[in-house]
A and B are shown apart, each in its own frame.
Chain A
Amino acid sequence: MSGSSASDDLSALTNIQLANLAAAEQIRYRHHLPSNDRYALELYRRGIHQDQEAWQLFQEQVAEERVVSWLWQHPCYNRALERARTQENLVHLTFARFWQAVGPKKKNFSSQAKLFEFLKLCVNSVIIDELRKLTLGEIPPDLPAPAPDPLKDVAEEELWALLTHIITNPREQYLLRLILIEGYKPREVVRKSPEQFSTTQDVFRLWRNIIDRLRRDERIRRWFKKDTT
């Protein structure tokens, strides 16, 4: 175990000293030796209080190795990599997600184990997010950006309210939900609700009808027109 005593005043240590001692403790932990988490926690504490150097050192010397090992353990790592392209991107996204969750709230952890438990949730969250985007077929981040989304400033609630105002038939609303929100394809719609939709032709006909009516609506046309000007 570290030779330092519990009464050491950590506030006197520089970020680099803390990072060195924290990195040594990570090695002890990895080799199943008793280890001390106070240096890592102090570095983290400084990091969430806007000390960028401390945050950077916390990521690189305390947490990154752990994040990488969790990414490798994840059952969907390879699929997530299809979209994120590199392991570094996933690591970066994980720390960004972690920061979003802990930074603004200045979240405290009672131990390094609790901190890592939460960080591991962020790894999972990032991978599942990549899978969600993958199913949407989004363009990978380093390809040219898609055309501006005409609906990017429209709240989902507002959009859904408008769609269901135009499309009032319950069966059609149900199809809207299945295709737009739940992401079903026509074949899957038939499989899920054969009592409502007996064939894919049924779905096609109804969907064409829905889209034609939406495109005739003045507000929808305005939104889409804004995109093209």
Chain B
Amino acid sequence: MECCAPGTISDDDLLRYTFDPDELAAEARTHFDDCPACRARADDYRSVSNILVKRLHRWGCPTTLEISEYAAGLLTGKDRQKLEDHFKHCPHCAEEVSISREFLGTPEPAVTRRPVLKAALLQQRHLLEVAGVRGDSPWPRQYTIDGISLMLELAPLAPPGKNLSMVGMIYRLDTSLGPLDNIEVHLLPTSTTDQSAPLSTIIKGINFLLSNISPGSYELLIALPEGNLLIEDLELRL
């Protein structure tokens, strides 16, 4: 196979094509596009170079896990010294350490405890009367917490089975403060003898619904802006 326009491509162009085709002059680039012979010659150089680069690139550099451990300050003694000696002549690794430090130095979100709001359970008699419930059923329940009212009702899931659903209604007594909309609600299992999974939802307007609850012991966590409202020792069984 012969070149279609001998002399257009210099030996340097062959190497330029190998390393950095974008650096070629427009005329040379067009020639490579049009001339299979020159392309084949360049590809020959390129394939040998590329295979060697692929095999040897960063050979001898520490693994990225070692880089991470170093950046986190977890290496000591000879292990640490060995890497530091390497960094002196390897700008790639030095750059990776810098990136790793930036990331690993990012503090975890603050772990300052949020206030836990304790809810007071109101007398149920009035609610039971309103709900038309007779006997000793503990549901529905009403709680108050610093200007917030929470009502919980538990019901069998339809169609009837052993699982339950919980409907909640929560609002501020001072309605001018607005609804507690889009707030996370979590039902968290607390017993090691149940098969219960945590369930989560959010408040829509003033209501929330948790369904398909396995009977068991739980805590109800509502992540209010002013703190975590925690209702402990909830025995959810009918």
Which residues from chain A contact B198 at a C-beta distance below 8 Å?
20, 23-24, 27
Q: Are B20 and A185 in contact (CB under 8 A)?
A: yes
Q: Are A124 and B53 in contact (CB under 8 A)?
A: no
- Interface of chain A residues 49 through 99 with chain B (CB within 8 A): 73-76, 97
B112 at the interface (CB under 8 A from A): yes
Q: Is the interface of B mostly helix, strand, loop or mixed?
A: mixed
Which residues from chain A contact B12 at a C-beta distance below 8 Å?
200-201, 204-205
A122 at the interface (CB under 8 A from B): yes
| Pick from B19, B106, B192: contact of A17, CB under 8 Å | B192
User: Which partner residue on chain B sits nearest A26 by CB separation?
Assistant: B198
Which residues from chain B contact A156 at a C-beta distance below 8 Å?
55-56, 59-60
| Pick from B23, B49, B104, B188: contact of A121, CB under 8 Å | B104
Q: Are A121 and B72 in contact (CB under 8 A)?
A: yes
Which residues from chain B contact A31 at a C-beta distance below 8 Å?
114, 184, 186, 221, 223, 228
Q: Are A27 and B114 in contact (CB under 8 A)?
A: no
Least CB distance from B128 to A in Å reads 27
Q: Are A160 and B59 in contact (CB under 8 A)?
A: yes
| Pick from A125, A129, A185, A204: contact of B11, CB under 8 Å | A204
| Pick from B59, B65, B91: contact of A101, CB under 8 Å | B65
Q: Are A3 and B191 in contact (CB under 8 A)?
A: yes
- Interface of chain B residues 200 through 238 with chain A (CB within 8 A): 200, 217, 219, 221, 223, 228, 230, 232-233
Q: Mark A141-176, 1 if CB is under 8 A from B, else 0.
A: 000000001110010100110010000000000000
Which residues from chain B contact A101 at a C-beta distance below 8 Å?
65
B92 at the interface (CB under 8 A from A): yes
Known A149-B51, A211-B45; contact A182-B103, beta-carbon cutoff 8 A:
no
Size category of the A interface is 35 or more
- Interface of chain B residues 44 through 58 with chain A (CB within 8 A): 45, 48-49, 51-58
Q: Are A4 and B195 in contact (CB under 8 A)?
A: no
| Pick from A125, A149, A224: contact of B64, CB under 8 Å | A125
B124 at the interface (CB under 8 A from A): no
Q: Are B113 and A32 in contact (CB under 8 A)?
A: yes
Q: How far is the CA of A4 from the CA of B191 in the complex (A)?
A: 6
| Pick from A20, A75, A126, A208: contact of B99, CB under 8 Å | A75
Known A3-B217, A31-B221, A125-B63; contact A181-B57, beta-carbon cutoff 8 A:
yes
Q: How far is the CA of A223 from the CA of B72 in the complex (A)?
A: 41
Q: Are A128 and B99 in contact (CB under 8 A)?
A: yes
Which residues from chain B contact A129 at a C-beta distance below 8 Å?
64
B142 at the interface (CB under 8 A from A): no
Q: How far is the CA of A117 from the CA of B217 in the complex (A)?
A: 32
Known A4-B191, A125-B63, A208-B14; contact A73-B57, beta-carbon cutoff 8 A:
no
* A interface residues (Cβ-Cβ under 8 A, vs B): 2-4, 8, 10, 12-14, 16-17, 20-21, 23-24, 27-28, 31-34, 73-76, 97, 101, 117, 120-122, 124-129, 131-132, 136, 138, 149-151, 154, 156, 159-160, 163, 179-183, 185-187, 200-201, 204-205, 207-208, 211, 214-215, 224
Q: List 10 A-B contacts (CB under 8 A).
A: A3-B219, A10-B192, A21-B192, A24-B186, A121-B74, A124-B71, A131-B96, A159-B52, A180-B53, A182-B91
